[in-house]
Amino acid sequence: MKQKRPTLNDVADEAGVSLATASIALNKSKRVHISQTTRDKVMEAANTLGYKPRAQQKSSAQLQPTKRVAYIVNHLDRDISINAVNGARETAWQHDYILHAMSYANDSELKAALVDEVKKGDFSGIIIGSNVTREISLPELPESIPTVLLNCYCKEKIEWPTILPADLIGAHQITQHLIDKGYQRIAHISGEEWMDASKQRLDGYRRALVSNNHIIDEQLIIAGNWMFDESYHQTLKLMQLASPPDAIFAATDEMAVGVYFALKELSLSIPEDVAVVGYDNTSLASHLVPSLTTMALPYYEMGQLAAETLLNLLAGQSLTFKNIKLEGKLIARNST
């Protein structure tokens, strides 16, 4: 009898770590913090079991991908979505699958048309993604098609595997960074209040203040709309307070740009007068002057894990999880 090839699940079990940790370690990602001891343990488990990614088992010339998986996402115009798609696409390709990314630009009719196309096509499985973390209502899909949710979730389908960023932990870490730097009056300009990413980041900010015995001043918490023009105006309001903030946590890097513009207009220096942090570690963060301290979220790794999870389902493997949250990494730069 032909011996069964070891899977990523087998490696995770052998190393005593989660599937996500095993995936990140084997992909040698440095964008997510994992101790060297854990990385070594995963690599040792892989060597012991003889696990190798498909890409290492066959040359690219021998690959004959005839199987397809679909990736349906609302937008593909941001670093978040692009990184997630790239991670999923490369992982699918390593396993002889071609990933087809389809964006419907929040157009409900186009979304329905794409879903119909997937139903009619010969797609083995589906990844449903979102460019912002949120609850979604799912289209009608055949139960026979394995489905994984990426950066979104659905209460109607709690049995579907869901990959999300650990925003609460990330917001706590970046607020803690400001506290450790000695800042006392830390403001937070959030995204739209109904979105999960906004709620989680605000909650992480609040928890960091409480755990450090800082008083939560509601005047320093302002709801924004993810856009830099809104954060620009909100920053001007914050700096008019009798006791203005000495640090501002913008819920995204784009919003941090608005903070920069407002502080420059007020002739305030960053970080000498006011420190600024963003979130997401988009490409613009390192190009701002001063460069922006931010939280890098593992969207590429989330895409990898979503594809690996889908491929495990297609292989008939049982999953040891239904909901995984991946932590990001603090990127400290010159704005703090």
Residue 272, φ and ψ in degrees, nearest 5: -60, -45
In this predicted structure, the answer to whether residue 62 has a pLDDT above a threshold of 60 is no
238 membership: H or E segment, kind and range: helix 228-238
Task: Tell me the sheet residues that pair with 323.
Answer: 162
Range of the domain at 259: 167-296
CA distance 239 to 219: 11
65 inside domain: no
Query: Which CA distances in Å does 116 have to 73, 142, 155, 182, 246?
Result: 15, 11, 23, 55, 52
Taking the whole predicted model, whether its pTM rises above 0.85 is answered as: no
Residue 163, φ and ψ in degrees, nearest 5: -115, 120
CB 71 within 8 Å of CB 85? yes
Reduced to 3 states, what is the DSSP secondary structure of residue 69?
Answer: strand
Structure confidence at residue 204 (pLDDT): 98
In this predicted structure, the answer to whether residue 193 has a pLDDT above a threshold of 60 is yes
In this predicted structure, the answer to whether residue 171 has a pLDDT above a threshold of 50 is yes
CA distance 155 to 135: 8
In this predicted structure, the answer to whether residue 288 has a pLDDT above a threshold of 70 is yes
Average pLDDT, the chain: 88
Structure confidence at residue 239 (pLDDT): 98
Task: Tell me the sheet residues that pair with 325.
Answer: 164
Please identify which residue in the block is written with the tokens 């489905």: 147
Structure confidence at residue 195 (pLDDT): 86
Of residues 307 and 23, more confidently modeled: 307
188 inside domain: yes
Mean pLDDT of 43-51: 81
CA distance 165 to 310: 18
Please identify which residue in the block is written with the tokens 């409900």: 108
Structure confidence at residue 54 (pLDDT): 52
258 inside domain: yes
Task: Indicate the number of domains in the chain.
Answer: 2
CA distance 163 to 177: 26
Poorest-pLDDT segment among 38-47, 159-168, 301-310: 38-47
CB 307 within 8 Å of CB 88? yes
The CATH number linked to 21 is 1.10.260.40
290 inside domain: yes
Alpha helices in 76-182 (DSSP H): 79-94, 108-120, 167-180
70 inside domain: no
Query: Where does residue 159 rank: exposed (0-12), middle (13-18), buried (19+ CB within 10 A)?
Result: exposed
In this predicted structure, the answer to whether residue 142 has a pLDDT above a threshold of 80 is no
Structure confidence at residue 81 (pLDDT): 85
243 inside domain: yes
Percentage, residues of the chain above pLDDT 70: 91
- Read off the pLDDT band of 160 (50, 70, 90): confident
**CA count, 13 A, side-chain hemisphere, 246:** 8
CA distance 288 to 272: 16
The CATH number linked to 263 is 3.40.50.2300
Structure confidence at residue 144 (pLDDT): 82
The identity of residue 75, as a single letter, is H
332 inside domain: no
Structure confidence at residue 94 (pLDDT): 87
Structure confidence at residue 152 (pLDDT): 93
Structure confidence at residue 257 (pLDDT): 97
**Tally of CB atoms within 10 A around 280:** 25
199 membership: H or E segment, kind and range: helix 196-211
Structure confidence at residue 32 (pLDDT): 62
Structure confidence at residue 66 (pLDDT): 66
Of residues 1 and 298, more confidently modeled: 298
In this predicted structure, the answer to whether residue 64 has a pLDDT above a threshold of 80 is no
CB 312 within 8 Å of CB 9? yes
In this predicted structure, the answer to whether residue 75 has a pLDDT above a threshold of 90 is no
Poorest-pLDDT segment among 100-109, 201-210, 249-258, 266-275: 100-109
Please identify which residue in the block is written with the tokens 């929040």: 106
15 inside domain: yes
In this predicted structure, the answer to whether residue 60 has a pLDDT above a threshold of 50 is no
CB 260 within 8 Å of CB 288? yes
